[in-house]
């Protein structure tokens, strides 16, 4: 029975043209009370906390192009194009910003977040922020076994499994580009995964800072990873940039403008899908499932990769200035719509992303689009672990302890949950 239910779960998720694995993780954890409760707490407090700064946040990016063929080894110019798309969309400088419908203009905003190719590597050496790494693996699968809960796509992030090792994920946004194998079961192709991203590993610390009290629930261990080397974004090589010469090799033309990365970085910065990850095919009432953000209308399901401005699957979204019921916001970057349709983040989504940066990913923030050797060396020296303790302050010697705390030389600490 469990296997049968799992097949029903996966098939409707991947029959749409665009897919990111975030759906899968969300649906697999929907029955965990702690997961739903923690997510609700995060969004409740993030929505009621204003970002501390109006300054532009600059985030250094390193691309890991893990390739098996010349086709997969996309050119640096394509990656530069991807950075341009991210900057345009996160600053609302995109050419189609004027296509945001009038009823949504009051909610659309500039995230004031910019991205740049890292110019200094973790060792303080000059770099262009791009790694081309050959692999003998023809593809990386989301999971080896369709019935497995283990996400094996993370193998692209480790050199020992044919991938490329992350740069310090506290200081760099790592984006891996590879051939993500299409999903199939018993010869039936279910679809192509175009991207995947983890939410912050230290989300419990963000919850503490956001909450009115120091008592907040933890996210479930099986939703997150305590391995910081896995933090980042993974993209299918055909969905990168808007000048990609192999963009049509996946059989699609609707995802050729580089917005798979815009979508996945949104997840990386804490956003959920705009429809709240309901699956209408399974009988979910999406109108009662929300992304937790007040200025995004409810939707019964994802857009299905159709830019239908007449779509209005839920009623009662009358929070706009007109007081009229709002349609589905299919132009939102966190929906599954054609790239040409997507054109906005809402102010509520922007507040979430900036909060996550300030609280859970603060070392990513730079004051300018450049890194200095002194800055990297200083950060590296500050983050040396001097001891590891448990929640009672005792030395943590057991490898099976549930909760451990690393204490760093600079006096900071990181709490995490071990799974091994």
Listed residue (51, 109, 86) closest to 358, CA to CA: 51
Mean pLDDT (whole number) for 247-275: 92
pLDDT higher at 259 or 401: 259
CB atoms within 10 A of CB 61: 24
Q: What is the CA radius of gyration of the chain?
A: 21
Per-residue pLDDT band for 246 (boundaries 50, 70, 90) equals very high
Residue 130 to residue 62: CA distance in whole angstroms:
6
Q: Are 100 and 89 in contact (CB under 8 A)?
A: no
**Residue 285 and residue 395 share a domain:** no
Instruction: Please indicate, yes or no, whether residues 330 and 393 belong to a single structural domain of this protein.
Output: no
230: left (phi over 0), alpha (psi -120 to 50) or beta: alpha
Query: Same domain for 359 and 405?
Result: no
**Could you give the number of structural domains in the chain?**
2
* 340-349: average pLDDT: 96
- Supply angle C-alpha 392, 397, 398, rounded to 5: 95
Are 203 and 307 members of one domain?
yes
Q: Which helix (H) or strand (E) holds 62?
A: strand 57-67
Average pLDDT over every residue of 135-153: 81
Quote the CA–CA distance of 230 and 84 in Å, as a whole number.
25
Can you tell me the distance from the alpha carbon of 252 to that of 18, in angstroms, rounded to the nearest whole number? 9
For 413, the 3-state DSSP assignment is strand
Residues 390 and 376 in one domain: no
Domain hosting residue 236, numbered range: 2-383
Same domain? For 309 and 414 the reply is no
Going by C-alpha positions, the residue among 389, 383, 393 that lies closest to residue 406 is: 389
What's the pLDDT score for residue 29?
Answer: 46
Q: Does one domain contain both 247 and 395?
A: no
Phi, psi of 173 (to 5 degrees): -85, 110
Closest C-alpha to 275, from 221, 361, 213, 334: 334
Same domain for 199 and 94?
yes
> pLDDT tens digits for 270-319?
888 898 876 766 677 778 887 888 899 999 989 989 999 999 999 999 99
| Whether residues 233 and 125 fall in one domain | yes
pLDDT at position 360 is: 82
User: CATH no. for residue 94?
Assistant: 3.40.390.10
What is the bridge-based pairing of β-strands 173-178 and 130-134? unpaired
DSSP state of 239: G
Where is average pLDDT lowest: 15-29, 47-61, 193-207? Answer: 15-29
Helix (H, G, I), strand (E, B) or coil at 392: coil
Residue in the block written with tokens 């009370």: 33
- 132 and 20 in a single domain? The answer is yes
Active site members = 264
Mean pLDDT across the chain? 79
- Terminal-residue alpha carbon distance, the chain: 28
- pLDDT tens for 361-409 read 899 999 999 997 666 665 555 566 767 776 566 675 554 445 567 666 5
Distance CA 40, CA 29 (A): 14
Residues 163, 219 within the same domain: yes
The whole-number pLDDT of residue 205 equals 55
Do 264 and 395 lie in one domain? The reply is no
């Amino acid at each position: 029975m469990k296997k049968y239910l799992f097949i029903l779960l996966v098939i409707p998720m991947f029959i749409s043209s665009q897919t990111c694995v975030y759906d899968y993780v969300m649906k697999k954890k929907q029955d965990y009370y702690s997961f739903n409760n923690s997510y609700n707490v995060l969004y409740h407090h993030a929505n009621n906390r204003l970002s501390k700064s109006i300054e532009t946040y600059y985030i250094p990016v390193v691309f890991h192009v893990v390739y098996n063929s010349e086709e997969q080894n996309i050119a640096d110019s394509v990656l530069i194009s991807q950075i341009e798309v991210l900057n345009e969309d996160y600053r609302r400088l995109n050419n189609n910003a004027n296509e945001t419908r009038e009823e949504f203009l009051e909610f659309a905003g500039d995230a004031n977040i910019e991205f740049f190719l890292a110019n200094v590597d973790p060792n303080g050496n000059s770099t262009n922020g791009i790694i081309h790494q050959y692999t003998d693996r023809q593809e990386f699968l989301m999971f080896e076994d369709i019935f497995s809960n283990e996400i094996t796509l993370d193998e692209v992030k480790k050199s020992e499994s044919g991938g490329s090792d992350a740069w310090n994920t506290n200081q760099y946004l790592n984006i891996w580009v590879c051939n993500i194998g299409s999903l199939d079961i018993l010869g039936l192709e279910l679809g192509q995964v175009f991207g995947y991203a983890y939410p912050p590993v230290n989300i419990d610390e963000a919850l503490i800072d956001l909450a009115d009290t120091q008592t907040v629930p933890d996210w479930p261990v099986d939703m997150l990873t305590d391995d910081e080397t896995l933090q980042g974004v993974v993209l299918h090589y055909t969905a990168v940039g808007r000048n990609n010469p192999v963009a049509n090799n996946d059989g699609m033309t609707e995802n050729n403008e580089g917005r798979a990365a815009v979508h996945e970085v949104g997840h990386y910065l804490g956003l959920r899908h705009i429809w709240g990850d309901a699956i209408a095919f399974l009988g979910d009432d999406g109108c009662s499932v929300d992304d937790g953000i007040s200025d995004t209308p409810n939707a019964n399901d994802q857009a299905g990769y159709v830019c239908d401005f007449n779509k209005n699957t839920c009623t009662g979204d009358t929070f706009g200035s007109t007081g009229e019921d709002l349609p589905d916001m299919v132009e939102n970057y966190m929906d599954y719509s054609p790239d040409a349709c997507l054109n906005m983040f809402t102010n509520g989504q922007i507040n979430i992303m900036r909060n996550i940066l300030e609280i859970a990913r603060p070392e990513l923030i730079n004051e300018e689009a450049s890194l200095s050797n002194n800055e990297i060396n200083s950060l590296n020296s500050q983050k040396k672990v001097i001891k590891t303790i448990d929640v009672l302050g005792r030395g943590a010697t057991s490898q099976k302890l549930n909760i451990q705390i690393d204490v760093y030389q600079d006096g900071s600490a990181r709490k995490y949950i071990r799974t091994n």
